[in-house]
Amino acid sequence: QQPVQSPQAVILREGEDAVINCSSSKALYSVHWYRQKHGEAPVFLMILLKGGEQKGHEKISASFNEKKQQSSLYLTASQLSYSGTYFCGINTGGFKTIFGAGTRLFVKA
CA 60, distance to chain mean position in Å, is 10
- Are 106 and 10 in contact, with CB atoms under 8 Å apart? yes
Min CB(68)–other proteins separation in Å: 20
Contact 101, 8 (CB under 8 A): yes
User: How far are the Cα atoms of 36, 56, 61 from residue 42, in angstroms, in the given order?
Assistant: 4, 18, 17
Give the range of 18-26, 52-60, 75-83, 100-108 binding other proteins by CB under 8 A.
Answer: 100-108
Q: Of 11, 25, 26, 43, which lies in the binding site for other proteins, with binding defined by CB under 8 A?
A: 43
Give the x/- contact pattern for other proteins in 47-86, rule: CB under 8 A.
Answer: x-x-------------------------------------
Q: Is 35 in the site for other proteins (CB under 8 A)?
A: no
Beta bridge partners of 44: 34
Q: Is 30 in the site for other proteins (CB under 8 A)?
A: yes
Q: How far apart are CA 47 and CA 33, in angstroms?
A: 6
Contact residues for other proteins (CB under 8 A)?
A: 2, 30, 32, 34, 40-44, 47, 49, 87, 89, 91, 95-102
